[in-house]
Amino acid sequence: MLLKNKVVMISGIGPGLGIKLATIAAQEGARGLVLAARTAAKLDEARIEIEARVPDCRILCVPTDICDSAQCQRLVQSALETFGRVDALINSAYYHGNFEPIEKADLDVWRKTVETNLIGTMQLTQAVIPAMKEQGGGAMVMINTQATRKPVVLDIGGESGYAASKGALGTAVKYLAKELGGYGIRVNSAHMGWMWGAPVQGYVRHTAAEKGIPEEQIIGGIARSIALGKIPTDDDCARAALFLISDYAAAVTGATLDVNGGDYIPA
């Protein structure tokens, strides 16, 4: 199994990618999951779903706002008290902000986006580093976005604030990889494109209803730009991120993995 006996911490547990990361990590042999989200109800739902599929995996749920440094420290301490170590951290928590042009952007919303996606993520990362150093290594993956590499402006507007915050996060990953490599700690980015899950399904429904056209027409328009000819599923995208925390990626750090079905292919 890809993650046999590993303890995996995942932030941002919710109805999209977060729950897929957790469920598949359990299916891939993780002996312990440390799940974090702002809302306790989301964590309870995740626990029930995972336990139904993988009853042998131990699960620790800790309501956590990553924008609060003390809560990040509490999360890591709880994990260490329960499992004794943290083998991997997947930073999946995020705040999207508005779809809008930069010219008219609400920069107070940008501040909240940066506070969550960059500062909050770094707070949780800082909290887990001492434990990984002490145990002799670990792996981190930052869930990033294709929007930093291929700007897209939809009918509902662009996502420049979100992309800018994630672009800064991508730069931080490169520095972390250099700083932590000597301790056996790997740090990588997984840049997600379109993912067929709750958020994209909601966008498709909304856009189709607003334009008065079938949902299949919206889906087809998106899929035409993707080399594989279809929108990747949340499950497939989660598996790509989980590969980066596995031992199969032992030689990979400071890397950017594009997870988009070939929608964006770098030169």
Long-range contacts of 235-240 (CB under 8 A, 24+ apart): 235/20, 235/24, 237/17, 237/20, 237/190, 237/192, 237/195, 238/17, 238/20, 238/21, 238/24, 239/24, 240/190
C-alpha 89: how far from chain center:
10
Q: If you search the block for the tokens 């911490």, which residue do you land on?
A: 9
The verdict on whether 203 is a catalytic residue reads: no
Pairing of strands 138-145, 256-259: unpaired
Q: From the candidates 162, 175, 203, 248, give the one annotated as an active-site residue.
A: 162
Hey, what are 223's tokens?
């899929």
Give me the active site residues, please: 162
